[in-house]
Chain A
Amino acid sequence: MEYDLTQKTLPFLDRHLIYPLLQFLKGRGVYNDTELLQLEYDLLKDTNMTDYLVELSKELGQNDADLQAKKENVVKTLAELEEATKPVFEVLENPEVVSELKENKTQNQALLTSKYGLSVEQINLLYKFGQFQYNAGRYQAASDILYHFRALSTDPELVASATWGRFACEILTSQWDSVLEELGKLRDSVDSRSLDPQQQLHQRMWVIHWSLFPFFQNDTKGKDALCDLFFSSSYISTIQAACPWILRYLVVAVIAGGHPHTASVFQKRLKDLVRVVGQEEYEYQDPLTRFVKSLYIDYSFEDAQNQLADCEKVLKQDFFLADSADAFLESARKLMSQVYCRVHQRVDIAQLSQTLNLSQEQGEKWIANLIKDSRMDAKIDESDSTVILNHPSVSVYQQVIEKTKGLTFRSSQVLNQGVTI
């Protein structure tokens, strides 16, 4: 499959996050199923999900002796870790302790060490335990443990690492609200921490890829948040510099994201999107970006229409986008007819429906709805089967009034802001 991005995105995902992607690819006919199975096995080989691995190896017809040994080992380690972290949990379950804990972590630590005999090593064991649970596929448990760990630990490295871990756990357990919360924390830490630029770039790329999960598997609100994140200046430059294929998701997010905001926000995003797509044309192209380009840069409706047909295929094959395919196509058609109507005075309904991949009757309905929704100054001429669009020229007075209307308000806002500063 020409436009499959799995291979590009895999290096930026955690192995546990890759797993759903592989599941999705199975039976899509893009890759060989046995290869996928093998890949899945290799992927999970180093994890602690032994039961599942045994099943997999059976499917692949491999010897599972090693796995049995490993399984025992895992169980043993798990018991050990559980034993070791017991005191920590005991302390934490004590309501007295919770009430005593304060904002300041260093103080907390001192308190715990002196009063309850919890050493830093014990707390760090918590981290290990959490990681182990995560590797074993028990995400909920891992998430809880890491949550506690983060509250107690003062080591910034480990805390950052724990945040990543929790982020993954929440994604895998589909706790979207806490995912967004974790994402916010991650963003802060990535942006604020004084990493060297390359490391920061890498971390941003991880954030970008990981956040595809919450944003696309969530409802439309997710797409909106995704736009906010990806269009922020540091992230858009990361996308442009290091992972231009993300543009596909951005295109879908903008176009299929609906228009929850005012039209101006949408227009601004669209403008940014068109610019970025145009700039990165030489580095990344797929039907989706080409659609944007032919509609908004070349104004070639024929091309746009052709690309739209391809888009559907691409969308259906993409793990993240499959659910948004319909919304995207619907929105794309709308945008296309909007632009179409903007430059045309008289449109043949038959031709328009063809352009939109609709039957004539559907097309007429579509047009009628469009006129109603966007309150265009347009009429359908039934006998001629055309739509007549009026483009009244705005008088100069109107123009000047329009332009200067908001100025007083804006100025007073500026003044307010100035005063507060």
Chain B
Amino acid sequence: MSRFFAGGSDSDDSSSDEDLYGSGSESGSDFSQDEQDGGDDNDDDMSDDSMFADDSDDDSDDDEDLGGKGASYFLKSSTVADSDDEEDTGKKTVLSAKDKLLAELANCSKLIDNGKRINDWVLIQGEFDKLNKAMERFTKQRHGLPPKVYIQCIVELEEFLNTQLEDKAGIKKMNASNSRAFNTVKQRVRKNNKEYEAAIAKYSSGGDVAEEEEEENKEDKPKPRAKDEFVLTAPSQASNEEFTTVGKAGKALVSPTDMFKTLKTVLESRGKKNTDREDQVRQLENLLPSASTVYQKISVYTMLVSTRLDLSSASAALAPENWLKVVGDLNDLLSILEENIDTYHVIETAPEIEDVEKGPVAREDGVKLIPGSVASLVERVDDEFTKALQFMDPHTTEYVDRLRDETKLYQTLLRVQMYIEHVSDEKDTLGLARILVRRVDHLYFKPNNVINMTEQIAWGGVKGDSKATPRPTEKDLTSSTYPTTLISNMCSVLYKQSNTVFRTKAMLAHVYHYALNDEYYKARDMFLMSHLQSSIASAEPQLQVLFNRTLVQLGLCAFRSGLIAEAQQSLQEVCSSPRLKELLGQGLAKYAQAGVVDKQRVLPFHTHINLELLECVFLCSSLLMEIPFMAAHNTSIDAKKKVISKLFRRMLDYHERQVFCGPPENTRDHIMQAAKALQRGDWEAARDLVCAIKIWSLLPNPEAIKAMLTDKLQIEGLRTYLFTYWNHYSTLSLSTLADMFQLPVKDVAAIVAKMIAQEELPGSLDQKTNSVVFTQAVQQTKLQQLAVALSDKVIQLAERNERLVAGGYQFDKMTQPQKRKTQRAR
């Protein structure tokens, strides 16, 4: 997972790296670094490459001119080339790109031979480099396996080297530049030869005979092997029709050896520039019918899936039809794997296969291990899906259509999960976790019934059962508790992972799910106990986005449960930020140059949290807290400093400054006018305005929300009224107040009592007349007010000093309710 979210432009590289490994049914481990370097070098040679590409264009034109001859044309030309090399006549023949290269190779090898004779290592080094460069181009243009000339040359060179090495005296005699060159060649040859180990082995086994044969039958018909090579590596420009004919003819001819050769070619050219991926896909598709054994099928499918995935690029997603094909292939692969689950296992930890053609050797229990990773394949498929959604306009029908594919993807995920559970070690849950985290990703933001639907469809098409997430029964799928159990099951596996990304993600998704289902306390306790607040700042952007989403969802949940203060507190930070969209991963930063990576961070539309609803909830919560607060502190000297929500204050100020105030149009207008009404003590107007907001209908059970808001408005209206107007009264009857705010007298009494007890309201209750009696406060002079404020400050200072001396630099934890839950976990 982390590898995919590592961010930065390298994400692409890393994923392809993994796939190289994943599909490496025949890849040599030596392939990684050297080849990578080679690839880098190639970038410099771009101009050369394009030149060659042109050449091959010409070539293909010729090809079409010649029409039906097809392959045979090439065969002939290749033989011509061979003879050219041999005779070295320098005829002006139009040679194909391949032929040119072959000629070059042959020339180099000849020069190397010369060098050997006179023991001139400087010459050999130069020629060897040229040889390899030519070889690189050769591979790049996908002419197939390394030509004999090349292999022969490098093998002979190595032999020569070895003999030289034994001749210690000879080495000592060499002059400085010569011996330096000797050493360089020695190292390069070793390194280089490793890459071609397989070919060399083949060469040396039947090498001598073939060599002679080749020399003798120079003018002879090409051997079938060479022919196959061409069938499989027909240039991309070749017309389709032609290709199929050859394919049909070649069907019977594709021997396992050639199949693996092709696979290897494809593998080697992956990740390089100028590779025609579509062509490779076609090649692989053609291999499919001729793959007869299970091992071959698995090899071809793994390669095909990853090659197909290569068709996408960083800035564009895979086309829907291609994506569907990938899913199809992946499912085929899974079917094969499931059928042969007792004989073949594809796992990441499998040892390298020694003989690629014969396949892996069976373990004691008869299971053959193939190195590879189904998990990474399905992960990439998932990534492509997300990418496709990111690049799509969410308001079109295509988007919706595309979303339907999610069920297919989800089902595949489920299958892969079961496969991995079956194949991998009990203790090694990393692979399982990788899949589970994807499943959680697909589920956590969905309401229960949607989760049930998704699960139902997914399990419907899948056989078997899973340990981590047991198959749901009919009853489960209709129950409202199943999704929670499912998410808990999946998360509990993830919590055990050593990788913090898994754990964090699981934790946040879990909390999000609870919050979505109105389990506020559970969600909050989990959230606080996770200690994420302290570490999230250093996490990856994706996780931060998830954190913010969870926090916001928690706030919404608190609001739905009627916990206004908690809601306000949760939403405050995120909602007041001008970067709201960016924080929630629902848009890009303003004025910033948005790179591809930034775009990838934006979540697909269907996972978004409705921003307007969010704003509405936040402003409503702020309204309920801020208005009475403002009324209470209106007179105190530092009224300006005490602010609960700056954003709300700002909006209110702006609203007040307007010359003309029309009827409310949007959510914000409604709330601002409601705030004004509440300030006047007109709670009914406030209620009407707030309830008229249309967006409440997006919440489940809007009527309950409105009723809750009405209750709160009554109470806060009463408080505001008392704060604002108390000094106009000497007594105020409770029943009048109860009438005014349509609250029971008992509640009014309790509210007033609370205000008196907390010294918010100067006055007391008279039980006999059932009224509030206000003590007319002596108006304090400015000096007196300041004196009181000063004495408060002095006391604070004294207390702080005491705490410092008491040894703990820590403040009294008990007075910090926020930290409370953090402590709990200890």
- B-contacting residues of A (Cβ < 8 Å)? 197, 200-201, 233-234, 236-237, 240-241, 272, 275, 279, 282-283, 298-302, 339, 342-348, 351-352, 384, 386, 389, 391, 393, 395-396, 399-400, 403-404, 407, 410-411, 413-414, 417-418, 421
Neighbouring A residues of B814 by C-beta, 8 Å: 233, 236, 272, 275
Contacts A237-B826, A279-B817 given; does A345 touch B795 at CB 8 Å: no
Q: Does B798 contact A (CB under 8 A)?
A: yes
Q: Does B753 contact A (CB under 8 A)?
A: yes
Interface of B is mostly: helix
Bound-state CA distance A384–B791 (Å) is 43
Bound-state CA distance A410–B794 (Å) is 12
Neighbouring A residues of B46 by C-beta, 8 Å: none
Report A208 CB to chain B, min CB distance, Å. 15
Task: Tell me if A302 and B746 are in contact (CB < 8 A).
Answer: yes
Report A385 CB to chain B, min CB distance, Å. 10
Task: Tell me if B765 and A411 are in contact (CB < 8 A).
Answer: no
Task: Tell me if A241 and B825 are in contact (CB < 8 A).
Answer: yes
Task: Tell me if A299 and B750 are in contact (CB < 8 A).
Answer: yes
Contacts A282-B521, A393-B778, A396-B787 given; does A344 touch B801 at CB 8 Å: no
Residue of A nearest to B804 (CB): A414
Residue of B nearest to A406 (CB): B798
- Specify which of B791, B795, B807, B826 is in contact with A234 (CB 8 Å cutoff): B826
Interface of A is mostly: helix
Task: Tell me if B823 and A233 are in contact (CB < 8 A).
Answer: yes
Contacts A197-B825, A237-B826, A344-B766 given; does A396 touch B805 at CB 8 Å: no
Number of interface residues of B (CB under 8 A): 44
- Binary interface encoding of chain B residues 774-796 relative to chain A, with 1 for a CB under 8 A from any of its CBs, else 0: 01011010001001100110110
- Binary interface encoding of chain B residues 622-639 relative to chain A, with 1 for a CB under 8 A from any of its CBs, else 0: 000000000000000000
Task: Tell me if B792 and A411 are in contact (CB < 8 A).
Answer: no
Task: Tell me if A344 and B820 are in contact (CB < 8 A).
Answer: no
Bound-state CA distance A418–B803 (Å) is 11
Task: Tell me if B765 and A344 are in contact (CB < 8 A).
Answer: yes
Task: Tell me if B766 and A414 are in contact (CB < 8 A).
Answer: no
Task: Tell me if B768 and A400 are in contact (CB < 8 A).
Answer: no
Task: Tell me if A279 and B820 are in contact (CB < 8 A).
Answer: yes
Report B762 CB to chain A, min CB distance, Å. 7
Neighbouring B residues of A240 by C-beta, 8 Å: 820, 824
Task: Tell me if B767 and A348 are in contact (CB < 8 A).
Answer: yes
Bound-state CA distance A126–B820 (Å) is 44
Q: Does B764 contact A (CB under 8 A)?
A: yes
- Specify which of A275, A279, A300 is in contact with B750 (CB 8 Å cutoff): A300
- Binary interface encoding of chain B residues 748-759 relative to chain A, with 1 for a CB under 8 A from any of its CBs, else 0: 011111101100
Task: Tell me if A396 and B521 are in contact (CB < 8 A).
Answer: no
**Which 4 A-B pairs have CB atoms at the shortest separation, nearest pair first?**
A345-B764, A241-B824, A299-B753, A300-B750
Bound-state CA distance A404–B802 (Å) is 15
Task: Tell me if A197 and B826 are in contact (CB < 8 A).
Answer: yes
Task: Tell me if A410 and B805 are in contact (CB < 8 A).
Answer: no
Other A-B contacts than A352-B767, A407-B798, 20 sampled, CB-CB below 8 A, are A233-B813, A233-B814, A233-B823, A237-B823, A240-B824, A299-B751, A299-B753, A299-B754, A300-B753, A301-B750, A343-B764, A345-B764, A346-B766, A348-B768, A396-B787, A403-B791, A404-B794, A410-B798, A413-B802, A421-B807
Neighbouring B residues of A386 by C-beta, 8 Å: 767-768
Task: Tell me if B791 and A400 are in contact (CB < 8 A).
Answer: yes
Bound-state CA distance A386–B762 (Å) is 22
Task: Tell me if B820 and A237 are in contact (CB < 8 A).
Answer: yes
Bound-state CA distance A197–B824 (Å) is 11
Bound-state CA distance A193–B486 (Å) is 38
Neighbouring B residues of A342 by C-beta, 8 Å: 756-757
Bound-state CA distance A58–B747 (Å) is 59
A and B contact pairs by CB, cutoff 8 A, 20 listed: A233-B813, A236-B814, A237-B823, A240-B820, A241-B824, A275-B814, A275-B817, A299-B753, A300-B746, A343-B765, A346-B766, A386-B768, A389-B764, A393-B775, A395-B778, A400-B787, A407-B798, A413-B802, A414-B798, A414-B805
Task: Tell me if B773 and A345 are in contact (CB < 8 A).
Answer: yes
Task: Tell me if B521 and A283 are in contact (CB < 8 A).
Answer: yes
* Chain A CB within 10 A, most for which of B769, B775, B795, B805: B805
Task: Tell me if B805 and A417 are in contact (CB < 8 A).
Answer: yes
Task: Tell me if A411 and B801 are in contact (CB < 8 A).
Answer: yes
Interface residues of B in 291-332 (CB under 8 A from A): none
Neighbouring B residues of A407 by C-beta, 8 Å: 794-795, 798
Residue of A nearest to B563 (CB): A282
- Specify which of B788, B792, B826 is in contact with A396 (CB 8 Å cutoff): B788
Report B27 CB to chain A, min CB distance, Å. 45
- Specify which of A236, A384, A391, A393 is in contact with B768 (CB 8 Å cutoff): A384
Neighbouring A residues of B813 by C-beta, 8 Å: 233
Contacts A298-B754, A346-B766, A384-B768 given; does A403 touch B775 at CB 8 Å: no
Bound-state CA distance A146–B118 (Å) is 96
Residue of A nearest to B783 (CB): A396
Residue of B nearest to A242 (CB): B824
- Specify which of B762, B802, B824 is in contact with A237 (CB 8 Å cutoff): B824
Task: Tell me if B795 and A403 are in contact (CB < 8 A).
Answer: yes
Bound-state CA distance A241–B826 (Å) is 9
Neighbouring B residues of A418 by C-beta, 8 Å: 805
Task: Tell me if A299 and B757 are in contact (CB < 8 A).
Answer: yes
Task: Tell me if A396 and B780 are in contact (CB < 8 A).
Answer: yes
Report B752 CB to chain A, min CB distance, Å. 8
Interface residues of B in 374-424 (CB under 8 A from A): none
Residue of B nearest to A342 (CB): B757
Neighbouring A residues of B806 by C-beta, 8 Å: 417
Neighbouring B residues of A300 by C-beta, 8 Å: 746-747, 749-750, 753
Task: Tell me if A351 and B767 are in contact (CB < 8 A).
Answer: yes
Neighbouring A residues of B817 by C-beta, 8 Å: 275, 279
Task: Tell me if B820 and A301 are in contact (CB < 8 A).
Answer: no
- Binary interface encoding of chain B residues 807-818 relative to chain A, with 1 for a CB under 8 A from any of its CBs, else 0: 100000110010
Residue of B nearest to A355 (CB): B767
Neighbouring A residues of B778 by C-beta, 8 Å: 393, 395
Residue of B nearest to A386 (CB): B768
Bound-state CA distance A282–B558 (Å) is 13
Report B509 CB to chain A, min CB distance, Å. 23
Neighbouring A residues of B777 by C-beta, 8 Å: 393
- Specify which of A201, A344, A399 is in contact with B767 (CB 8 Å cutoff): A344
Task: Tell me if B767 and A347 are in contact (CB < 8 A).
Answer: yes
Task: Tell me if A414 and B802 are in contact (CB < 8 A).
Answer: yes
Neighbouring B residues of A279 by C-beta, 8 Å: 817, 820
Residue of B nearest to A411 (CB): B798
Bound-state CA distance A201–B825 (Å) is 9
Neighbouring B residues of A201 by C-beta, 8 Å: 826
- Specify which of B757, B807, B825 is in contact with A339 (CB 8 Å cutoff): B757
Neighbouring B residues of A275 by C-beta, 8 Å: 814, 817
Bound-state CA distance A27–B803 (Å) is 53
Task: Tell me if B791 and A399 are in contact (CB < 8 A).
Answer: yes
Neighbouring B residues of A344 by C-beta, 8 Å: 764-767
Interface residues of B in 496-532 (CB under 8 A from A): 521
Report A255 CB to chain B, min CB distance, Å. 18
